């Protein structure tokens, strides 16, 4: 009967990390949407550059700079996605370790704590990269937002 109580307690404790996995899934969805929009914009610019090179238009240099910006944004989002997935993997390992700890008589409290800390660092890194990408999109893009505009 004690095993049933232990398993019930672990299931209750595993609910919080599962909610965290749901949040990470939502973040991954947002990151994927941003990546898709950036890639779509890059395709439009690449098509325009091809047409401009054939027609001799002068928009090529500005479009080339924007393509470089988009490449930087894609790298940031890509790394943010990688860190979010690493975070989700650590959370999954945490839940699996918690259940394993019930069946094995080894104290794995440090392992669980370490996995949670690593998951939080990966999540912080992912969100930090997302923030950098957003700042880059707003600041360097054609949508300069000044402090005075925010304070209005």
pLDDT digits (tens, 9 = 90+) for 29-52: 999 999 999 999 999 888 888 876
pLDDT at 57 (0 to 100): 60
Q: Are 81 and 28 in contact (CB under 8 A)?
A: yes
- Predicted confidence band at 138 (pLDDT cuts at 50, 70, 90)? confident
Proportion of the chain in helix, strand, coil states, percent, rounded to 5: 90, 0, 10
Residue 136 in this model has a pLDDT that exceeds 70: yes
CA atoms within 13 A of residue 92's CA, in its CB half-sphere? 9
Cα 100 to Cα 31: distance, rounded to the nearest angstrom: 32
Q: What is the pLDDT of residues 87-135, one digit of tens each?
A: 999 999 998 888 888 778 778 889 999 999 999 999 999 999 999 999 9
């Amino acid at each position: 009967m004690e095993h049933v109580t232990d398993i019930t307690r672990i299931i209750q404790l595993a609910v919080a990390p599962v909610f965290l996995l749901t949040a990470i899934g939502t973040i991954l969805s947002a990151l994927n949407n941003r990546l898709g929009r950036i890639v779509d914009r890059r395709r439009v610019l690449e098509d325009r550059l091809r047409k401009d090179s054939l027609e001799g238009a002068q928009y090529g240099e500005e479009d080339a700079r924007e393509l470089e910006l988009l490449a930087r944004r894609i790298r940031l989002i890509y790394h943010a996605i990688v860190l979010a997935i690493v975070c989700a993997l650590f959370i999954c390992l945490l839940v699996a370790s918690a259940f394993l700890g019930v069946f094995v008589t080894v104290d794995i409290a440090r392992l669980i704590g370490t996995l949670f800390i690593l998951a939080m660092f990966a999540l912080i890194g992912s969100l930090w990269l997302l923030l950098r990408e957003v700042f880059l999109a707003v600041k360097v893009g054609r949508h300069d937002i000044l402090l005075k505009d925010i304070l209005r």
